[in-house]
Amino acid sequence: MASGSVGRRLVACLLNVSEARRKDLVESVAKAALYDTEGVRREGTTVLNIFNDHDYNRSVITIVAGIDSIKEAVLSACEKACGLIDMRAHMGVHPCMGAVDLIPIYPLGEEVGVEDCAKEARAVALGLTERVQGTSAFLFGWADSPLQRGLAQRRKEMGWFKKMPDLPPIRPDMGPQPQTRFGLTGVGASPYVMNCNVTIDTEDIAMGRSIAAAIRESTPGGLPGVQVLALPHEGAVEIACNVESVKGDSPCQTTAGEPWPSFRIDGEPYCHAPASLITARVAELAGRHGVGVKGTALVGFTPRECGGLAELALSQGIAEFWKQRHRIRM
Q: What is the pLDDT of residues 37-59, one digit of tens each?
A: 999 999 999 999 999 999 999 99
- Taking only the tens place, the pLDDT of each residue in 147-156 is 999 999 999 9
Tell me, what CATH number does 73's domain have?
Answer: 3.30.990.10
Same domain, 275 and 228: yes
Domain count, the chain: 2
Tell me, what CATH number does 240's domain have?
Answer: 3.30.70.670
Residue among 19, 22, 49, 9 nearest 33 (CA) = 49
List the Cα angle 234/240/246 in 5-degree steps: 165
Same domain, 177 and 197: no
Same domain, 14 and 81: yes
Same domain, 268 and 312: no
CA dist list (Å): 41 to 37, 73, 195, 316, 319:
10, 10, 29, 14, 8
192 pLDDT more than 90: yes
Same domain, 132 and 101: yes
Same domain, 291 and 311: no
By DSSP bridging, strand 268-271 and strand 254-255 are unpaired
- How high is the pLDDT of residue 299? 86
Same domain, 50 and 169: yes
Rounded to whole angstroms, the Cα distance separating 79 from 100 reads: 9
The 10 Å Cβ neighbour count of residue 179 is: 16
Residue type, 297: A
Half-sphere exposure (Cβ direction) of 301: Cα atoms closer than 13 Å: 25
1 pLDDT more than 70: no
Rounded to whole angstroms, the Cα distance separating 159 from 95 reads: 10
Same domain, 159 and 209: no
Residue among 94, 29, 92, 95 nearest 63 (CA) = 29
- How is 20-46 classified by DSSP, letter by letter? -S-HHHHHHHHHHHHB-TTSPBPTTEE
Same domain, 48 and 111: yes
Residue among 188, 190, 189, 191 nearest 262 (CA) = 191
Same domain, 93 and 134: yes
**66: CB partners within 8 A, 6+ apart:** 8, 9, 10, 11, 44
What percent of the chain shows pLDDT beyond 90?
81
79 pLDDT more than 90: yes
- How high is the pLDDT of residue 318? 96
CA dist list (Å): 322 to 27, 77, 160, 247:
10, 16, 29, 30
CA dist list (Å): 21 to 17, 47, 90, 92, 98:
11, 19, 11, 10, 16
Same domain, 44 and 115: yes
**32: CB partners within 8 A, 6+ apart:** 76, 77, 79, 80
Residue-number span of the structural domain to which 114 is assigned? 3-192+302-327
CA dist list (Å): 53 to 20, 233, 238, 245, 309:
6, 9, 12, 24, 22
Q: Determine contact, residues 105/13, Cβ cutoff 8 Å.
A: yes
- How high is the pLDDT of residue 259? 84
Beta pairing partners, 60: 16, 51
- How high is the pLDDT of residue 2? 47
Same domain, 204 and 262: yes
